[in-house]
Amino acid sequence: MNRVYEIYKDLYDYYGPQHWWPADDWFEVTVGAILTQNTSWNNVEKSIENLKQRDLLEPEKLSKIEEDDLAQLIRSSGFYNLKSKRLKNFLEWLKKYNYDTDKIKNKSVTSLREELLSIKGIGKETADSILLYAFEMPVFVIDAYTKRMFSRLGLILSREYDEFQNFFEKNLTKDVQLYNEYHALIVKHSKVYCKKTPKCSNCFLKEKCNWGVNNL
Ligand code: SF4
């Protein structure tokens, strides 16, 4: 077992399954992935609840809402004018497929990723979250938590998104469920122990971690 699997196993044994993504369907995942940029999930949940209460959490319905009105409905997510525009950009792209996810899922991961990245306001982390959690494609999601935790562990020395992603994808089998769970566990551990100021003395990974070994 390589060290990347070993860390996964340790995290899974400690925390158990995380049941990501907390959403009812692929569209809710996608809206959440766009709204969660630069804000906490609690703020996103309020916006999603707002859309649900008005029965708007469907692509065609949301497409018909004016951008300004949508901005007001997602106010709790912050940067709401910008995020409303981003959602509209995504919906515009989706319209090309007649909102048909089967047509989208027929595309290769690479070309779908390129298309998502060409939508203004959709960056790599958001695109990959949509690919993995909405369309169930084997793409490892990298975020600031992943970079911080794995740099501290001493398993990869880089700041680049693509290098981190290649590192995980080379060391793990291409498996949607594994990628889903691993990313969720990294987020969990980064909130519980591997915080901005890490709680290394209580962390169950401390003996396998460069930072833990060097700072205790
Ligand atoms: S030992 Fe410290 S730095 Fe290493 S994973 Fe645990 S909390 Fe993070």
Whether pTM exceeds 0.85: yes
* pLDDT reported for residue 98: 93
Closest by Cα among 3, 99, 85, 93 to 37 = 85
Centre of ligand 1 from the C-alpha of residue 7, in Å? 11
* pLDDT reported for residue 22: 86
Please list the alpha-helical segments (H only) found in 36-175.
41-53, 59-63, 67-73, 80-95, 101-105, 109-117, 124-129, 144-153, 161-171
Q: Is the CB of 200 under 6 A from ligand 1?
A: yes
- d(CA 4, CA 179) in angstroms, rounded, equals 12
Q: Is the CB of 34 under 6 A from ligand 1?
A: no
Which of 149, 150, 190 to mutate for ligand 1's pocket (most ligand atoms within 8 Å of CB)?
Answer: 149
Q: Is the CB of 59 under 6 A from ligand 1?
A: no
What is the second-level CATH architecture of the domain 3-19+140-215? Orthogonal Bundle (1.10)
Centre of ligand 1 from the C-alpha of residue 153, in Å? 7
Ligand 1: nearest atom to the Cα of 206: 1
- d(CA 40, CA 47) in angstroms, rounded, equals 12
| DSSP letter assigned to residue 208 | G
Q: Is the CB of 206 under 6 A from ligand 1?
A: yes
Q: Is the CB of 212 under 6 A from ligand 1?
A: yes
- As annotated, the residues of the chain forming the CATH 1.10.1670.10 domain(s) are 3-19+140-215
Q: Contact, 158 vs 164, CB < 8 A? A: yes
* pLDDT reported for residue 215: 85
Sequential pLDDT tens for the chain (216 residues): 799 999 999 999 999 999 999 898 999 999 999 999 999 999 999 999 999 999 999 999 999 999 999 999 999 999 999 999 999 999 999 999 999 999 999 999 999 999 999 999 999 999 999 999 999 999 999 999 999 999 999 999 888 999 999 999 999 999 999 999 999 999 999 999 999 999 999 999 999 999 999 987
Dihedral angle of Cα 10, 12, 13, 19, to the nearest 10 degrees:
170
Ligand 1: nearest atom to the Cα of 198: 7
- d(CA 102, CA 111) in angstroms, rounded, equals 15
Domain covering 26-134, topology: Endonuclease III; domain 1 (1.10.340)
- d(CA 213, CA 216) in angstroms, rounded, equals 6
- As annotated, the residues of the chain forming the CATH 1.10.340.30 domain(s) are 26-134
- d(CA 84, CA 66) in angstroms, rounded, equals 9
What is the chain's length? 216
Cβ neighbours for 211, distance < 8 A, ≥ 6 positions apart? 152, 153, 154, 198, 200
